[in-house]
Amino acid sequence: MRIACAAFAVLLAAVPALAQNVKITPIGSHKGELCANDRAIIFEDPTGVRFLYDPAHNVTGGNDPRLGAIHLVLLSHMHGDHVGDLKLKAPGEGSCANSARVPAPNSTIAEVVAAKNAVAVTTRAMAGFVHNKVDAIHGSGAKPMDFCPTLSVNVPVPEACSSRIDLGGVFTARAQGAQQGVEFTTVYSSHVNDVAPSLLTKPQQDLLKADGAQLGYGPPIGFVVKFTNGLVAYLSSDTGVFGDMKTVISDYHKANLAVVNLGPNPGLFQSGAYAINDLLKPASVIFTHVNEAATEGGKLKPNTQTAALMKQVTAPAYLAISERTMEFDGKGKCVSGC
Ligand SMILES: [Zn+2]
Ligand SMILES: [Zn+2]
């Protein structure tokens, strides 16, 4: 009896610990790899709030079976590889360096928001675009998509809506019956916010082309997400290094996990070690958006830019391997799946 009680006590001690982790599951083009076009990541709070960060070119559409329940979709900026001007033809098709994709004229974010009746968490400027595309999917006669009535919602919401915040704004989503919500703050991103031209109307495309111009939708954004177990994740989006990584994101928000986009344009292959080691100082790092086939057989290829940067980063750094679920505790430590 005493042994049984002791075993039960051990079990009781173990169960809440497991339940208090945030689950992080990247969904990319090739299962078990980190590929060139991979960006999309699913997060699940212990209370059950689930959201998708930048659908990108990584979903086959709003009903991609890998998505499951999605309560919110985060949109960082309007570049085609984030808002989703293309969608995945099928997981595993094409190569890891160049996944097979087909056009998504309504954008993958609108496809997911419409299919899941989700909240689009983004700036008001970008929400305007999402509203129009979701309305196009719903067809004429349907009630137009609008901002959510409040900055704090219970999920799932009854109908798709968007967050009505701008740079620095805070939006909260709470699971039914939960004591506490998941808090999303939009933060600066040292990047541009030009929309993929193919997502615009033909007259708009022609006007822009005549002047060699790009159409921007206000500032691009990153996110700080405060989960109910204490994990504070900084989702960098595409960004160069900037001073607020220390002041706002580390000192003020106390982010303990940094999910960092790499790739050649913002220069983080060069400045990433300084940004992470000296400014952000997280407990752990996840790398995505590497713009190269970073792995083969699930293992990091040594002759890649990603491998070169990993060597310089002092915190434990993990790759956003497609369809592998990592679990993080409230202190930013990976406790499973890394
Ligand atoms: Zn970009
Ligand atoms: Zn990008």
Residue 311: in which H helix or E strand, if any? helix 305-312
Residue 81 CA to ligand 2 centre (angstroms): 5
pLDDT value at residue 273:
98
Which segments of the chain have a pLDDT < 70? 1-19
Give the model's pLDDT for residue 1.
45
Using a cut of 0.85, tell me whether the model's pTM lies above it. Answer: yes
Return all residues near 47 (Cβ < 8 A) that are at least 6 apart: 174, 175, 178, 180, 182, 228
First to last CA, the chain: 38
Q: What is the DSSP string of 228-246?
A: TTS-EEEE--S----THII
- C-alpha of residue 83 to centroid of ligand 1, in Å: 10
Q: Rounded to an integer, what is the distance from CA 209 to the centroid of its chain?
A: 31
> Which tens digit of pLDDT belongs to each residue from 129-151?
999 999 999 999 999 999 999 99
Specify whether the CB–CB gap between 86 and 181 falls below 8 A.
no
The pLDDT assigned to 248 comes to: 98
* Percentages (nearest 5) of helix, strand, coil residues in the chain: 25, 25, 50
| Centroid of ligand 2 to alpha carbon of 16 (angstroms) | 37
**pLDDT 10s digits, 236-262:** 999 999 999 999 999 999 999 999 999
Q: Give residue 320's pLDDT.
A: 98
3-state secondary structure of 317: strand
191 C-alpha vs ligand 1 centroid, how far in Å?
Answer: 7
What CA–CA distance (Å, rounded) separates 41 from 126?
A: 20
